[in-house]
């Protein structure tokens, strides 16, 4: 149609641009592969965490149901079931270390209770029982349940790395809780990693620090009643009102009728979780 018109030649693509395009395509492929690998790794980690949590939950329920089954079997046979000795204790310092004897001061330091209302987990063995017996007038101790261990580590727990305080985050907390509650093989390392708990005063205060718990005071071993004290401490820290303040007033030596406390306690079904 246009015989005299010359055809325009398309300029050749420079080699540098071709090289840049190839490098960009290779980089894009690498990024996609890396992103896919990270996605699969996160998926595998989530699955592992879920399986761990499921296994721990099953183990806790089995422990709880075993205790109930053994007690039921003993009751049906007309006997009494004596549960195993607790392996874990939680210790709270209720009196400061100023003015105490050097021996008591040293034991409190070994238990990492250097300030008032410091708390720490202790593995119960012969040496630990002797230490707790020495400092019994200066501490409140007992046997925490799973809910108390959960609340303490999740709400008040901090880690310690190179003598520095770090916040506890991530899904590895379930392993830390499991190792602490069951007093596993790595309990010493787990407890050493935890920074001593800095607790606040409980709701309603402490009435008689110098009197033993069995005499209506606050000092000494209160066994499973330490869980009530932990609830009061957490309620005070979060600014919450206790659900059954009458029970805590009676526990602190108030003038509430003992029958009311017994009825209310029996109404609330004890739970492990």
Quote the CA–CA distance of 219 and 92 in Å, as a whole number: 10
Closest by alpha carbon to 192, among 145, 123, 146?
123
**Which pairing describes strands 220-221 and 139-142: parallel, antiparallel, or unpaired?**
parallel
With 0-12 CB in 10 A as exposed, 13-18 as middle and 19+ as buried, what is 239? exposed
- Model confidence over 52-96: pLDDT tens digits? 888 888 998 988 898 899 989 999 888 888 888 889 999 999 888
- The edge-to-edge listing of strands for the beta sheet with 139-142 is 197-198, 118-123, 88-93, 139-142, 220-221
Mean pLDDT on 135-140: 91
Mean pLDDT on 233-238: 74
Residue 106 has pLDDT above 80, yes or no: yes
Mean pLDDT on 231-259: 56
Query: What is the pLDDT at residue 134?
Result: 92
Residue 180 has pLDDT above 50, yes or no: yes
Class of domain 88-238+263-268: alpha beta
**Higher confidence at residue 13 or residue 16?**
16
Name every residue whose Cβ is closer than 8 Å to that of residue 234 and which is 6 or more positions away in sequence.
151, 155, 156, 240
- Model confidence over 18-29: pLDDT tens digits? 889 999 999 999
Residue extents of the structural domains in the chain: 42-82, 88-238+263-268
């Amino acid at each position: 149609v246009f015989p005299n018109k010359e055809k325009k030649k398309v300029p050749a693509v420079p080699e540098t641009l071709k090289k840049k395009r190839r490098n960009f395509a290779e980089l894009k492929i690498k990024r996609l592969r890396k992103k896919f690998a990270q996605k699969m790794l996160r998926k595998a980690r989530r699955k592992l965490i879920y399986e761990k949590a499921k296994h721990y939950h099953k183990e806790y329920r089995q422990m709880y149901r075993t205790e109930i089954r053994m007690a039921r079997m003993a009751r049906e046979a007309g006997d009494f079931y004596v549960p195993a000795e607790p392996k874990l204790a939680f210790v709270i310092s209720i009196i400061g270390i100023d003015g105490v004897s050097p021996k008591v001061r040293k034991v409190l330091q070994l238990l990492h209770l250097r300030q008032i209302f410091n708390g720490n987990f202790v593995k119960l063995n012969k040496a630990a029982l002797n230490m707790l017996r020495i400092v019994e007038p200066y501490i409140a101790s007992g046997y925490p349940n799973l809910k108390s261990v959960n609340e303490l580590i999740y709400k008040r727990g901090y880690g310690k790395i190179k003598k520095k305080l770090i916040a506890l985050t991530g899904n590895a907390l379930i392993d830390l809780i499991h190792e602490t509650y069951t007093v596993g093989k790595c309990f010493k390392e787990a407890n050493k990693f935890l920074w001593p708990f800095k607790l606040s005063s409980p709701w309603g205060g402490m009435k008689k620090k110098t009197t033993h718990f069995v005499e209506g005071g606050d000092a000494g071993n209160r066994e499973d009643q330490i869980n009530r004290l932990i609830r009061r401490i957490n309620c005070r820290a979060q600014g919450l009102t206790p659900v059954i303040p009458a029970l805590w007033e009676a526990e602190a030596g108030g003038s509430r009728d003992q029958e009311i406390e017994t009825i209310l306690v029996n109404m609330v079904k004890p739970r492990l979780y």
